[in-house]
Chain A
Amino acid sequence: MHIAPARIRAHSVTTALGHGCTPHLRALREMRSGLRRAAMDEVPAASWVGIVDGVDAVSLPDDLIEFDCRNNRLAELALAGDDFAEQVIAARHRWGATRIGLFLGTSTSGIRHTEQCYKRHFEKATPGLGDALRFNQTHAYNALVDYCRRRLGLHGPALVISTACSSGAKTFAAAHRALAAGFCDAAVVGGVDSLCATTLTGFHALGLLSPFPCTPWDEGRCGISIGEGAAFALLDMETQQDTGQDDGNGLTLLGYGESNDAYHITAPHPEGAGAVLAMRAALDSAGLTAGDIDYVNLHATGTHANDQSEDTAVHAVFGTAPSASATKGYTGHTLGAAGAVEAILCLLCLRAGLIPGTINTTTVDPALSTPVIVNSRAQPISRVLTNSFGFAGNNCALVLGRA
C-alpha cells in the first residue's frame, strides 16, 4: 500500500550524547560514545549504560509537579530542547489544539519511581508503597502521554504505544494513519524510556548485558548496553503546494512497515522472517525498491542472535552491499525510545550528509554478510531505512527522506 509522504516539521533528541540535536550530530561525526560504566545499586554485573546527564536537576512546571519522575523529566528535557515545544505550540496555533495527535512510545514509562517506592517499603518497612507513588502520573504507561499532552497544551487524540523496542518507531506509523484518516492535521510522535532496575536486572537475568560497551556486528559481540533517551518529531501532511513556500527542511516520512515474527517471545526469528516483511512493507509503502535506499540504520543491538537474524533479513531484502551501520554503541539501546531516537539520528544524518560509523566495533563478524560501515564518513544521502525490532517479535521499519 503506497502512502503519501508526511513532512517532519520539527524534531528533538536527548540521550547520553547530550541534550538536543547539535551534540548528537557532533558525536556521530567525531565517533564519541556516550556509554559509561553502570553505577546503579541494584545491578550486580559489570555493564555499561547510556545515562543522560542533568535529569536529576530537571524541574517540571509547577502545575504538573505531580508527574515528577525520571521518565517525565527525560521527556521534559527533549521537549524543551531544539525549540521543539515552541514549534508544537506554533502548530497548535495554526491547526488548533484538538487537531494535533500525540503518539508516544515507551516500554516501562515511570517504573523507576515505582521501584524506589518498593525499595523504601522493604528496606524501611513503610506501610504500603506510600502516597508518593502517584501511580497514574508516574508509573502508568499513560503517564508519559498525559504529561506531554498537558505540557504542550494539546487536546487531540493521544495514546502510548508499548511494543517493547519497536514502540518509538511505530508511533510514526500510527500517526501517519491518523493523519491519513483525518483524525488530526498534525501529530507529535516519539519515544521516551529511562534507566531502571527491572530492565537492567531483567536483561542481566537473560544473559544479554554486555560487560563492555556494546559492539554491534563485531565478531566478539556479547550483548547489549542499555541507554535512556527521549526523542520527538512533529509531522503533518501539508505539501509545498498547500503552503506555497518551502520551509527549507525537506525532511519526510516516506514509508513504514510493521510485522510480527510469530516465533518466540524473546528470541528473534533465525532467518529474520518478520524483519524481512517489515522492511519490504516499508519500501512498498514508500513506492521504493531496495536500490533506492542510500543508508540502512540497523537495529543491531549487539547480541549474537539479534544481529545474526537481522543480517539474514537485510541480506534478503537488500542483497550484498547496502551502506549500513549501527548507532547503539553511541547511545546504548534506548528500548522503547530507540525507534524514535534512531529516526532522529537518521534525520540528522540526512541533513548533514553523514553515514555514522559503527562505534566500538573493531572486527566485523565475517559470518555476517552485511558489511557495516565502521568509521563515520561524509556522504550525501537522501533516503534511509531504519529498523526497530522488539521483544515478542514486534518489528517496524521506517523510510525517511530528504527532498
Chain B
Amino acid sequence: MFVSSFTLGIVAPGLPDWSSARPVLRAEEPYLASPLKTRPPAALTPNERRRATLATRLALDAAQQATAGADLNPSTLPSVFASADGDMSLIDSMCREIYQQHLPPSPTVFQNSVHNAVAGYWSIAEGCQRPSNSVAAGDGSFAAGLLEAATQVAVCREPVLLVAFDLPAPALLHSHRPFTCAFACAIVLTPDRRSTDQLMLDLTLCDHPDPKALTRMQDPELEAMRTGNPAARALPLLAAIAAERPTLIRLPYWPDLRLDARLHPGQDRRPEEVR
C-alpha cells in the first residue's frame, strides 16, 4: 500500500511544535529537554476550552498543526485517533469519587472519560462531520492507528488525519502503566503526491519479527521518550519524514507482528502524469 504527502504536528517536552521539532529530528539541532508547553484549543468555545483536558489540548494542538500545514480544510478530513490508554486521570478521578468520596462521578469527568471524547472535541472544534475512529492496541497503538488511517486512504482515496496521544497516569495507576512524559503527534496522509520530490510511504506487515530490529532514536533522550510513551513510538517515522530521505522504519505493533514503513521516492512519473 502507498500513501503520500505528509504534514505533521507534534507536542512533547522540548518539542513544542513541528517547526521547532523538525531540525531536532533532522539532528541539525540538539534535543533540549524542557517542560511540556500546551496551548488551549482555540477553536473550541470558551467554556469547552476552559474545561479541555490535557489529552484534548495535546491532541487538538498536534492535529491543528498538521492540518494547517496540509493546506486542507480540517472539516473535510476523516480522522483516526490512536491512544493506548486514553486519559487515565479521568478513570482515577471517577474511581476516587465513587470509592473515596462515595459520590457519583462528575458528569463532566464521565463524559470526557470515553476514549473518543478527544476525537469528539476535534470534530466540534472544526465542525467536521466526517467519520472518526478511535483505536487502541497497547504499545502498538501508533502502528495500529497508522495502519487504520493508511487503509482508509488506500480504500477511500482521500486524505485522512491521524492523531496519536498518550499521557502519564496519576499516582495510583502510574506504577501499573509508567509513562515518562506526555506526547502527541499528528500526520495528514494523502493518496496522491503533490510533487514528484515528495516521498511516499509503503506499509507492510512483517510476521515473526526480530524484537531487536525495531527502529530506535539515536539521541538517548529521544530514545527514552520513544520507549516511555506508546504514542512516541512514532518518533522514528517522524524523524525519517523530517529528514526527507528514503529509509525503512520498523514500528512495534504486536510482539509477533511488526509494521514496516518504507519511505521511498516512488516512481518519477506516474501513469496519469505521463498522460
> Which A residues contact B (CB, under 8 angstroms)?
1, 42, 44, 98, 107, 111, 114-115, 118-119, 121-123, 128-129, 133, 135-136, 139-142, 145-146, 149, 155-164, 170, 174, 177-178, 180-183, 197-198, 201-206, 258-266, 273-274, 277, 390-394
Contact = CB atoms under 8 A, between A and B. Distances in A.
Contacts of B253: 157
A145 B145 CA distance: 15
Contacts of A263: 124
Nearest to B117: A392
Nearest to A207: B107
Contacts of A44: 104
B190 interface: no
B4 interface: no
B173 interface: yes
A132 to B, nearest CB: 11
Summarize A's interface: helix, strand, loop or mixed: helix
A135 B173 contact: yes
A180 B151 CA distance: 9
Given A198-B110, A259-B130, A204 B104 contact: yes
B116 A181 contact: no
Interface in B109-161: 110-117, 119-121, 123-124, 126-138, 141, 144, 147-148, 151-152, 154-156
A164 B129 contact: no
Contacts of A393: 120, 123-124
B63 to A, nearest CB: 14
A135 B254 CA distance: 17
A260 B129 contact: yes
A273 B100 CA distance: 41
Given A118-B98, A140-B138, A263-B124, 16 more contacts: A115-B95, A118-B96, A135-B176, A140-B85, A140-B136, A141-B84, A160-B135, A163-B119, A177-B148, A177-B155, A180-B155, A181-B155, A201-B98, A201-B105, A260-B123, A260-B128
Interface string B58-94: 0000000000000000010000000011100001001
A111 B172 CA distance: 14
A1 B104 CA distance: 45
B116 A391 contact: yes
B262 to A, nearest CB: 16
B116 A163 contact: yes
A258 B131 contact: yes
Which of B98, B117, B147, B154 has the most chain A CB atoms closer than 10 A to its own CB? B98
Given A178-B151, A206-B111, A262-B129, A159 B144 contact: yes
B245 interface: no
Contact of A129 (B85, B141, B176): B176
A391 B155 contact: no
Contacts of B100: 118, 122
B256 interface: yes
Contact of B136 (A135, A141, A390, A394): A141
A121 B120 CA distance: 33
Contacts of A260: 119-120, 123, 128-132
Interface residues of B, number: 63
A119 B101 CA distance: 11
Given A136-B177, A392-B123, A164 B116 contact: yes
B133 A163 contact: yes
A159 to B, nearest CB: 4
A181 B154 CA distance: 7
A262 B116 CA distance: 12
Contact of B156 (A1, A145, A273): A1
Across chains A and B, which 8 residue pairs bring their CB atoms closest together, nearest first?
A392-B120, A202-B110, A258-B131, A162-B115, A141-B136, A142-B138, A135-B176, A118-B95
A182 B176 CA distance: 37
A118 B136 contact: no
A198 B127 contact: no
A159 B205 CA distance: 14
Given A118-B96, A118-B172, A141-B115, A181 B137 contact: no
Interface in B211-232: none
Contacts of A163: 114-116, 119, 132-134
Contact of A160 (B95, B99, B137, B177): B137
Which of B91, B104, B105, B107 has the most chain A CB atoms closer than 10 A to its own CB? B104
A259 B131 contact: yes
B156 A161 contact: no
A98 B254 CA distance: 11
A119 B99 contact: yes
B207 interface: yes
B19 interface: no
21 contacts: A42-B98, A98-B205, A114-B91, A118-B96, A121-B99, A122-B99, A142-B84, A155-B256, A159-B137, A160-B135, A162-B115, A163-B116, A163-B119, A177-B148, A177-B151, A197-B98, A202-B105, A205-B104, A263-B124, A392-B117, A392-B121
B267 interface: no
Nearest to A120: B99
A162 B144 contact: no
B195 interface: no
B129 A274 contact: yes
B138 A391 contact: no
Which of A133, A146, A197, A391 has the most chain B CB atoms closer than 10 A to its own CB? A391
A159 B136 contact: yes
Which of A119, A133, A205 has the most chain B CB atoms closer than 10 A to its own CB? A205
Contacts of B173: 129, 135
